[in-house]
Structure 1
Amino acid sequence: MTIAAPPFHLTELIRRCAGDRHLEADEAETAFGMILDGAATQAQTAALLAILARNGESAAELAGAVRAVRARAGTVQSARRPLLDVCGTGGDHSGSFNISTATALVVAGAGVAVAKHGNRAMTSRSGSADVLEAAGVDLQRSAATAEASLASAGVAFLYAQAFHPALQAVAPVRREIGIRTLFNLIGPLCNPAELTHQ
């Protein structure tokens, strides 16, 4: 399959970022929308992610990327309140173990509903999805299954790749470049449930 060349302005945005300029929120939303929709090449995706990481992602860049991801996401409804997530950002290269998943279970056991959003490890030893898969949890759960789990057990795992299928196009690039990217930072902000706390 051949991907059509993306509009010139994505290349222009990459050039401007390479010159130490930050993107406005609408520019970031457009750029990440193109990436998530498969309209950018892997080289363009890697370049933009690396340049933004080098520059330090701005609040506007994070907000624009979150809007792009959330516009393409599934949703999970729950009447449980409070409803929180303990999702971490990952990508710290510290070799630490995944503690947010255990935290989610402890918090839910204490009676607070948890919509645990997470993914596989990109740069660390294990992510929430890796831990839960090793424990036999089906990661490809539907929104209806997650909603039922929240209602009955007060906890559900919302696998990022199941609720954000557009992110699958970015995963190989993230793995290959092996650095913390904007996607690590926005993961907690893209939970498909309507949270009251994070």
Structure 2
Amino acid sequence: MSNFVESLKKGQNLSFEESKALFNELMEGKYDERSIIEILETLAKKGETKDELAGGIFVLREKATKVKTDQNTIDTCGTGGDGQNSLNISTASAIVLASMKVKVAKHGNKAVSSNCGSADVLEALKININLKPNEVEESIKNFNFAFMFAPNYHSAMKYVGPARKKMGKKTIFNLIGPLSSPAQVKRQVIGLFDKKWMKPFAEALKENGVVHAFIVHSEDGMDEISPFAKTNVVELKDNIIKEFKIDPKTLGITCSNKENLKGKNAKYNAEKIIEIFKGQKNEFSQSVALNVAAGLIVSGKENDFKLSFEKATEHLNSGNVFQHLIKIQSN
């Protein structure tokens, strides 16, 4: 094993460069399963740092099959794992943003910790999740939206897959996966399952040249901007990191029944998405509008959150998103 693996065992943190070197070796199949488990467990026990996250993100992005997009393209991929089994808020938000002329390269996977991941619900919505890089580029050009199914783009993950499966718990890969867009996006809305990672995420994204990001975790535990409670936001913009809260009450939201956000299987979740795309108003539509508002700001189209939320709400209520969904399905 490399010297820095010994450093980890002594509880020492890796620098950005050391982390890059370690992840390079992991992604090139230099370790056997037992060693990979030992490395991932040692990192978790010590507590992963911003530099270790940044190194992992750098290597995963570097090794991914690349997709060419312009600098204003955004992603809405979060970590999942908040244990709330809610409807697919960030996936629905991505399609709404695309219908509002924001270019979205959505990165994601099938369900791991919930009943229905982004890939599952998009398949149920009859959207092609297996686009090749040139098809992703074409789809973004034509419809402002494309999905990149993570296993198709991160072939180097095959070296760590069996070890992660055997471990059966969260590792650093659950943190860096959502930040490792094959489209190398510079703008991102990221939901987090645990507040403690918000600042390190911002620092790691800054190290990887991200221009504007909202990293969110709500006080009711959701890895989304919540209509039920205040949401903590760490914003990275032009290398400056600041923190603030979004309070749904100040936006005139009076949602109370969290059960209405509960997801089920892919078919059910897809039906609920279609309802709000056709203009139905409920807790789900308000949740989506909040997260679309963040996307509008991160994309550079808006600067004021309240105004952004009002625009997103008005657009969702119009039913026009459903027409855009039909265009994406035609791809």
Q: TM-score, normalised by structure 1?
A: 0.83
Structure 1 residues not aligned, in runs of 5+: 1-7
For the structure 1 residues 15 and 126, does the alpha-carbon distance in structure 2 shift closer, same or farther, using more than 3 Å as the test? farther
Deviation at 1:72, TM superposition (A): 1.1
Question: In structure 2, what is the equivalent of residue 124 of structure 1?
Answer: 114
Question: In structure 2, what is the equivalent of residue 53 of structure 1?
Answer: 44
**What SS does the corresponding residue of 1:104 show, helix, strand or coil?**
helix
- The one-character-per-residue Cα deviations of 1:137-182 (angstroms, maximum 9, x if unpaired) are 4433210000010011100101111121112332333233222221
Deviation at 1:84, TM superposition (A): 0.6
* One-letter amino acid matched to 2:76: V
Q: Percent identity?
A: 38
Q: Which whole-Å CA distance do the structure 2 matches of 1:55 and 1:153 have between them? A: 44
User: Comparing 45-54 with 107-116, which one deviates more in the overlay?
Assistant: 45-54
Deviation at 1:112, TM superposition (A): 1.0
Query: Counterparts in 2 of 1:7-156, with a 5 A limit?
Result: 8-9=1-2, 12-79=3-70, 82-156=72-146
Q: Which whole-Å CA distance do the structure 2 matches of 1:168 and 1:97 have between them? A: 29
- Asked if structure 2 preserves the Cα contact closer than 8 Å seen for 1:14 and 1:47, the reply is no
* One-letter amino acid matched to 1:50: E
- Asked if structure 2 preserves the Cα contact closer than 8 Å seen for 1:146 and 1:156, the reply is yes
For the structure 1 residues 43 and 121, does the alpha-carbon distance in structure 2 shift closer, same or farther, using more than 3 Å as the test? farther
- Asked if structure 1 preserves the Cα contact closer than 8 Å seen for 2:61 and 2:184, the reply is no
- Asked if structure 1 preserves the Cα contact closer than 8 Å seen for 2:24 and 2:59, the reply is yes
Greater RCO (CA < 8 Å, at least 6 residues apart) = 1
Q: TM-score, normalised by structure 2?
A: 0.52
- The one-character-per-residue Cα deviations of 1:11-56 (angstroms, maximum 9, x if unpaired) are x533432332211222211211111111111222222222222322
Structure 2 residues not aligned, in runs of 5+: 189-331
- The one-character-per-residue Cα deviations of 1:107-160 (angstroms, maximum 9, x if unpaired) are 112221110011223333332223223444443321000001001110010111
* One-letter amino acid matched to 1:83: T
* One-letter amino acid matched to 2:91: T
